[in-house]
Structures are given as structure tokens and as C-alpha cells.
Structure 1
Amino acid sequence: MIIISGTVSLDPSKADAFHVALEALVTATRAEEGNVSYGFYVDPLEAGTYRIFEEWADQAALDAHMGADHMAAFMGQMGDFGVTGIELHSYQASNKTKFM
């Protein structure tokens, strides 16, 4: 399993437009084969900062996602949101067990 986590920061005044774009992206991505989970979550302490968490079955699924039309459309909109920073990290996980 591949895990992607990190943050994206943007102009807080653009949050409503960002949420509209996210709705389309998240809906399409969660329907992709090999997607285990996918989400952007508002950071309650940093205005305009979103925490990203994704789980993918394998590299092929992640590669397909990165080449998907809905991902290209979303990336094409990123300049509209006043993005000030993106930091994402990829992790290889050998197993997943329930914690709670």
C-alpha cells in the first residue's frame, strides 16, 4: 500500500472555490480502482491550510490517478486558489491494522 500525506496552503479567501473543486476531485478519485481512501481536511488552527491523506493499493493505481482527467482538471485550477505551499510525502506500508 502507498500512503500520501501532507499539506496544501492557499489564500483563505479562495476556500469556497477550492471546496467546489475538491468536491469534484474527491468524488471522482474515490471511485478509482485501487483507491483505498482519499481526503482533504481543513486544519482548524491554520486558515487556508488543508491536510491531505491518501491510501492506494499499489503504484499502478497511484500512477493511473496522477494521469486521470479529473486530476489534470484540478491541477489546472490550482493557480486560481492562491496556493502558497504544497508539501506531500509518499510512504510504502507493508500492512495496515486497526488501531482503535
Structure 2
Amino acid sequence: MYIVSGHFQFDKESLNHAQKCMDDMLALGKTEPGNLSYMFYRDPHKLNSFFLFEEWLSKEAHDAHFNGNSMKKMLPEFFALLEGKPKVTYYDAKIESTL
């Protein structure tokens, strides 16, 4: 399993535009082969900040999504709305278990 977590903070004046970008990214990501989950969560204490959590079957599935033509079109617009640099971490999980 391949996991992506990210923190994004947007300019307050761009929040509506940022929400539209995130909605478009979610709609695409959830339909991609190998996607298990894909969601943005708003920080309840800082309303212009969001947490991203993605689960993929493999790094290859994630990379096909991230490097695909649709994402290449969406990402520049998304990144232009950010206030500061994003904080994104990638995890290649070899062991998976549930409670």
C-alpha cells in the first residue's frame, strides 16, 4: 500500500476557488485505478488549512494518477492558490493490519 498525507494552507480570499480545485481532484482521484481512498479534511481550528489523505494499492498506481494529463492540468492552478509551501509525505507501507 502507498499512502500520501499532505497539509495545505490557502490564501483566505482563494478558499472558494481552492475548494473547487479540491473537489475536482477528489472526483478524479476516486475513479483512478488502484485508489483505495482520497480525501481532503478541513482543519476545524484554521479554516483555510486542509489535510490530504490518500491510500493507493501501489506507488505505481499513485504515480500514474499524479503524472496523468488531468492532474498535470489541475496542479498548477491548485498550487497557485497556496499560502506557503505544501507539506506532503509519502509512505510505502509493507505491512498492513487492522484492529
Common fold: TM-score over 0.5? yes
Q: Give the residue type in structure 1 aligned to 2:74.
A: F
Q: Is this contact kept in 1: 2:59–2:92, CA < 8 A? A: no
Long gaps (5+) in structure 2: none
Deviation at 1:67, TM superposition (A): 1.0
Give the aligned residue type for 2:8: V
Deviates more, 1:74-83 or 1:1-10: 74-83
Q: Deviations over 1:29-63 (max 9, x none)?
A: 10000011011111111131100100010011011
Q: Distance in 1 between matches of 2:57 and 2:21?
A: 24
State the TM-score, normalized to the length of structure 2.
Answer: 0.88
Q: Which moved more, 1:72-81 or 1:6-15?
A: 72-81
- Structure 1 residue runs of 5 or longer lacking an equivalent are none
Secondary structure at the residue paired with 1:84?
Answer: coil
Cα drift, residue 96 of structure 1: 3.8
Asked if the contact 1:10–1:85 (Cα under 8 Å) also holds between the matched residues in 2, the reply is no
Specify the alignment match of 2:9 in structure 1: 9
For residue 95 of structure 1, what is the aligned residue in structure 2?
96
Q: Structure 1 residue 26: deviation in Å?
A: 0.7
Query: Are the equivalent residues in 2 in contact too, given 1:40–1:50 (CA < 8 A)?
Result: yes
Moved more, 73-82 or 85-94: 73-82
Aligned-pair Cα RMSD in Å: 1.5
Q: Distance in 2 between matches of 1:90 and 1:15?
A: 25
- TM-score, structure 1 as length reference: 0.88
1:70 CA displacement: 2.1
Q: Deviations over 1:11-34 (max 9, x none)?
A: 122110011111111101100000
**How far has the Cα of 1:89 moved from its partner?**
0.8
**Residue-pair matches, total:** 98
Partner of 2:21: 21
Alpha-carbon distance change, 87 to 17 in structure 1, aligned in 2, over 3 angstroms: same
